[in-house]
Amino acid sequence: MRLNPIVKKDVRVQSRSMRICWGVFAYELILALVFFLAMMIIQEENRYSTSNIYSSMVMLYPILAVTQLMILGVVVPVRTASSISGERERQTFDIMMTTGMTPFSIVWGKIMTAIAQSMLFVVASMPTMALSFIIGGMSWAYLFWFLAIALLVSFFSASIGILCSSLCKKSISAVIMSYGFYIVFFFGTFLPYILYAIIYSSMTYSGMATSQAFDNFGEDMCLFLLMNPIVYLVEFFVQVMTGESIMDSVSYMSASGTAQTGSLLSHVATGSRWMIVSTILFVAVSFFFLWLAAKRINPIKGRVKTVQPPQQMQWQQQMPPQQQMQWQQMPPQQQGQNSQEQK
């Protein structure tokens, strides 16, 4: 299997610099501070409690996992937002496009470099994460589930950054746009349900009755939360810690306060279906962003225009306007035959 040249070059350059070492050190330092702070809080809460303190150590897993995912969500877009725009600023973008690599392979190489760097940080933190499993007594399978979630978060964040980098000429503009995409996914996905709740409250206040179809429509507004990273992570950690799903009862989140079995949400928010559908959507949107970025940096855009011979252009200009419009609607082969017949 041939390794992507961009991944090979970037990984080699980063491994030879001290920047990656200081990055891992800062990452581990933040994680260690959070770990000791969480230990102090757990010990303080259980000082006068008769329960076993080790049962509270299970909370170390979501605390450390959320801390790492937050760091990845902040750092990865910054790393990828300067990948394409940085090439333009260094005036090496045109040289890169003259290589034999396709635009998608270039975008994919930039993405894989950012994911490899982020997963290096996550793997380096495994000794600290393992303490929550040893002390808290959790299953080691959850550790691999966390690695999968970290990979998904890195891939989704990197796709946003690479898209913004292809759209902007300056790296700082791409970084700002990346965080703007975050605002849309984090808060914009709540807007449909909030608007429905406002409409429902106004209808209830005025004494108007709502139909079942309207209630089903309100519950279906919660489907936008499938693309909300906050809801995705909360659902994941609730299933890991309690074995239950908060989305099983999401039908009762409707403004009417009653479950509607006829809505689409009642079929999606059952068991682990919410996590599966949400994961598929995140991956699909990430690949869509990569496709848009590759299309954006593609130097060959649009269709190649055919140049007409001078004699054919002169003959076309001498035609009446109505006949000229009919001639333009003909296929190119038929145009050539007609021009030869006229000659």
Mean pLDDT by 10-residue block, N- to C-terminus, for the chain (343 residues)? 79 82 90 89 75 71 89 89 86 82 88 90 86 70 87 93 90 90 88 79 71 63 82 84 70 47 61 82 94 86 50 56 62 54 51
Burial class (CB in 10 A: 0-12, 13-18, 19+), 292: middle
Q: Which of 153, 183, 213 delimits the end of a domain?
A: 183
Residue with tokens 């991944």: 7
Give residue 292's pLDDT.
92
Identify whether residues 99 and 205 lie together within a single domain: no
**What is the C-alpha separation between 287 and 155, in angstroms, rounded?**
9
**What is the C-alpha separation between 160 and 178, in angstroms, rounded?**
6
Dump the DSSP string for 238-299: HHHHHS--GGGGGGGGSTT-S--TTSTHHHHSSTTHHHHHHHHHHHHHHHHHHHHHHHHH-S
Give residue 149's pLDDT.
92
Identify whether residues 195 and 138 lie together within a single domain: no
DSSP 47: T
Side chain identity at residue 25, one-letter code: F
Identify whether residues 226 and 275 lie together within a single domain: yes
Give residue 211's pLDDT.
61
Identify whether residues 261 and 225 lie together within a single domain: yes
Number of domains in the chain: 2
Identify whether residues 129 and 18 lie together within a single domain: yes
Q: Is residue 69 part of a domain?
A: yes
**What is the C-alpha separation between 241 and 238, in angstroms, rounded?**
5
Q: Is residue 269 part of a domain?
A: yes
Q: Is residue 154 part of a domain?
A: yes
Enclosing domain of residue 260: 187-299
Q: Is residue 105 part of a domain?
A: yes
Give residue 206's pLDDT.
74
Nearest by Cα to 78 from 171, 152, 183: 171
Give residue 270's pLDDT.
66
Is the separation of the CB atoms in 42 and 53 below 8 Å?
yes
Is the separation of the CB atoms in 139 and 239 below 8 Å?
no
Identify whether residues 93 and 216 lie together within a single domain: no
Handedness of CA 93, 98, 101, 102 (dihedral sign): positive
Identify whether residues 6 and 27 lie together within a single domain: yes
Identify whether residues 8 and 106 lie together within a single domain: yes
Q: Which of 183, 216, 245 delimits the end of a domain?
A: 183
Angle among Cα 123, 126, 129 to the nearest 5 degrees reads: 140
Identify whether residues 270 and 252 lie together within a single domain: yes
Identify whether residues 170 and 265 lie together within a single domain: no
Q: Is residue 304 part of a domain?
A: no
Identify whether residues 44 and 137 lie together within a single domain: yes
Identify whether residues 157 and 212 lie together within a single domain: no
Q: Is residue 330 part of a domain?
A: no
- The Cβ of residue 139 has, within 10 Å, a number of other Cβ atoms equal to 10
The residues near 66 (Cβ < 8 Å, ≥ 6 apart) are 233, 237
Q: Is residue 63 part of a domain?
A: yes
Number of residues assigned to the chain: 343
Q: Is residue 22 part of a domain?
A: yes
**What is the C-alpha separation between 177 and 167, in angstroms, rounded?**
9
| Cα R_g (the chain), whole angstroms | 28
Dump the DSSP string for 160-185: HHHHHHHH-SSHHHHHHHHHHHHHHH
